[in-house]
Chains A and B, each alone.
Chain A
Amino acid sequence: MGSVPTKQGRFGLYGGRYVPETLMPALLELEKEYSSAKKDRRFQSELAYYLKHYVGRPTSLYFAQRLTKRLGGAKIYLKREDLCHTGAHKINNAIGQGLLAQRMKKLRIIAETGAGQHGVATATVAAMFGLQCEVYMGTEDMQRQALNVFRMRLLGSTVTGVDAGSRTLKDAISEAMRDWTTNIRTTHYILGSVLGAHPYPMMIRDFQSIIGRETRRQILAAEGRLPDCLIACVGGGSNAIGLFHAFIRDKKVKMVGVEAGGLGVASGKHAARFAGGKPGVLQGTMTYLLQGDDGQVNLTHSVSAGLDYAAIGPEHSYLRDQGRAEYTSVTDDEAMAAFDLLAREEGIMPALESAHAIAYTVKVAPTMKKNQLLVVNLSGRGDKDVQQIANMRGITL
């Protein structure tokens, strides 16, 4: 497997730049600016400074002793991205792109958000760097993630509801792309996952790859060897690619991405792109996509707003084609049960997104030997989901 993407932003058949011409010059500029920043020591040391002192990195790699014992199989480590400032891995990318926006002298930033974690991370970075910020969010997601909407507003950002289509992440991205098309000269679009047109999937992967680099160092320090398996949930797939990237050449390390199975793949109400989708083009990139025979994009369902999206990052499509990573899905109910389990066994409430990774761990850990090592990316914390869970259980807070 050579290094991806190509200069044209291709991961095998996937990726590329399927955007209106108005955006092309901005994407080319962003690519140029990013590649010069990547080589710029000052940029890198500034990024490292904020990741350490503002985000709180490195995040710990925590041995989940009680969960391990309970499941009775592989030794389970949790990569604690939930301990990042703002409560999820999203800020790793938001800081990186916030620095880039300033480098390009774009003083207005926009973002889309599903669960609200990327929106909060972007709003936070905007406040810290003194940038103007507008976040697009589907009105359905605004309802289930009301707390994060309020957090963004407290941070001084404008949150704009998107009432089109399924009123979720996909529609928020389309609206953010329309804003960017309109305000391209003054605005940088901080896309939140490894989606969209080149260079976004590559750049966001690079900003998130610190997760895997730290994990590699930490597991070697703790166990003196690499893990047998990595597990991460996959919406767009930025936390997963962030964890996987540093291990791609370590062929013995198995990598599993967990998609949202919603009410079950057979029900059609899910966001399991590899189970129900086929390659297509959405929002700038060619990748696996849930779509009808005539190419209209399907509505998706997941209890977790952050996984509720019809397409998957193009590099994941590539890793799957290459057989380098495997993808599976768990249902809403399995994720909810995993949320409870982690809360009660380890005193950690995972984000509903990350609960999908835990749910798969519950299935696979008991099938593994006791001396095998599992690393699960705990990509975010569940505080934002407490209200929704209460509602689902008929409890008024």
Chain B
Amino acid sequence: MTSKLDHTFATLRQRGEKALIAYVMAGDPSLQDTEQLVVELEQAGADIIELGVPFSDPIADGPVIQQAAERALRSGTSLRTILSMVTRLRARTQIPLILMAYYNNIHAFGPERFCHEAAQAGVDGVIMPDMPPDEAGPLRGPAAAAGLPLIFLLAPTSTEERRTFVARQSQGFVYYVSLTGITGAKLHNMADVAKNVEKIRKVTRVPVAVGFGVATPEDAAKVAAIADGVIVGSAIVKQIAAYGQKPEMVKHVAGFVRSLKAAMRAAQSKPR
């Protein structure tokens, strides 16, 4: 099965570029803003958008994304309204959209119904931070039937056995968590990240994207040098929070994303 994610990574590879995966919390500060952000961030150079589904108890997230989830929940966001937004967005853009959702939201929606409706709406993949492939059994069948890639995560603590196990089940790309910690922590050991990305490449041909702790254009450039994709979350969410409902929010966040992509491109054009 060739998914839209596969296509995006292949196209970028031909152009000698790496994927910039921009995370926004859906519904922060409102779904209307999110819709506008997706369109503008694509213009600014994002290759894939990761839409956070707000959950009341996000155990893998640091304070920045926790607070974004609280704002999104206050604005009345749910998985159902997010899928409606994706449907609307598909009239405006074909950028790959991935949902990042804690499993309980999917469980409550109904795993089968979720896979079907998400694919129908135009979602291109799902990441669940609290769902290792060990527990993904009930989702696998419905996801395959709907053609919805399940993206799994690896961490610095993953053993060789788990690296093989997880990487082989991940579709679209492997999400490598750059640090032992939560989202928004500080990334300091790039050499370790590079080593681990290499180890993952040995067991899978699926692209490897690196997230957690990528905060600045400099970080993004460094990660782009070693991975196929660069995931930026908390740093973007922080900018959204800083401007909130002010009219210049979208323009400002787009500017930040543009600077990330520019740094990644500059790093790629330099001989290694």
Q: Which residues of A contact B (CB under 8 A)?
A: 8, 16-26, 164-165, 170-171, 174, 177-178, 181-185, 279-284, 286, 289, 291-297
Contacts and interface: CB of A to CB of B under 8 A. Distances in A.
Interface in B57-89: 57-60, 62, 66, 73, 78-80
Interface of B: 55-60, 62, 66, 73, 78-80, 102-109, 129-132, 134-135, 152-159, 162, 166, 177, 180-182, 185
A22 B108 contact: no
Contacts of A174: 57-59
Contacts of A296: 55-56, 73, 105
Given A184-B157, A291-B104, A295-B104, A22 B56 contact: no
A235 to B, nearest CB: 17
Residue of B73, B108, B152 with most partner-chain A CB within 10 A: B108
A183 B48 CA distance: 31
Give 8 closest A-B pairs by Cβ, nearest first. Answer: A295-B108, A22-B155, A182-B181, A294-B78, A295-B105, A296-B56, A295-B104, A297-B56
Contact of A22 (B107, B152, B180): B180
Given A184-B180, A296-B73, A20 B129 contact: yes
Given A181-B180, A182-B181, A294-B79, A20 B107 contact: no
A20 B105 contact: no
Contact of B182 (A178, A284, A297): A178
Most B CB contacts (10 A, CB to CB) among A19, A171, A292 go to A19
Contact of A21 (B66, B106, B177): B177
Contacts of B62: 178
19 contacts: A17-B132, A18-B130, A20-B153, A20-B155, A21-B154, A21-B155, A22-B177, A23-B157, A24-B157, A170-B57, A178-B181, A181-B181, A181-B182, A182-B185, A282-B57, A295-B104, A295-B105, A295-B108, A297-B56
B182 A18 contact: no
Given A174-B59, A184-B157, A185-B180, A293 B130 contact: no
Contacts of B158: 21, 24-25
Given A182-B181, A291-B104, A281 B130 contact: yes
Contacts of B73: 296
Contacts of A284: 59, 130
Contacts of B106: 295
B104 A280 contact: yes
Contacts of B109: 294-295
A327 to B, nearest CB: 21
Nearest to B78: A294
Query: Which of A171, A281, A291 has the largest number of chain B CB atoms within 10 A?
Result: A281
A275 to B, nearest CB: 18
Interface centre among A20, A174, A185, A284 (most CB of B within 10 A): A20
Given A18-B103, A291-B108, A296-B73, A24 B180 contact: no
A24 B182 CA distance: 14
A61 B73 CA distance: 49
B135 A16 contact: yes
A181 B182 CA distance: 7
A26 B103 CA distance: 21
A185 B157 contact: yes
B162 A21 contact: yes
A183 B152 CA distance: 22
A177 B102 CA distance: 15
B132 A280 contact: no
A170 B60 CA distance: 14
B151 to A, nearest CB: 12
Given A18-B131, A295-B55, 18 more contacts: A16-B135, A17-B134, A18-B103, A20-B59, A20-B129, A23-B157, A174-B59, A181-B180, A183-B180, A184-B180, A280-B107, A281-B130, A282-B104, A283-B59, A284-B59, A295-B106, A295-B109, A297-B104
Contacts of A8: 134
Nearest to B156: A22
Given A17-B135, A280-B108, A281-B130, A25 B157 contact: yes
A210 B135 CA distance: 31
Contacts of B131: 18
Given A24-B132, A24-B158, A26-B157, A289 B104 contact: yes
Contacts of A164: 66
A25 B153 CA distance: 13
Contacts of A26: 157
Contacts of B134: 8, 17, 24
Contact of A165 (B56, B105, B130): B56
Q: Which of A16, A19, A295 counts the most chain B CB atoms within 10 A?
A: A295
Q: Which of B55, B155, B156 has the most CB of A within 10 A?
A: B155
B28 to A, nearest CB: 15
A208 B272 CA distance: 59
B146 to A, nearest CB: 19
Nearest to B129: A20
Given A177-B59, A182-B185, A295 B107 contact: yes
A66 B86 CA distance: 66
Contacts of A183: 180
A178 B108 CA distance: 24
A281 to B, nearest CB: 5
Contacts of A279: 107
Nearest to A10: B135
A25 B162 CA distance: 8
Nearest to B134: A17
A296 B57 CA distance: 8
Contacts of B157: 21-26, 184-185
A284 B102 CA distance: 11
B159 A25 contact: yes
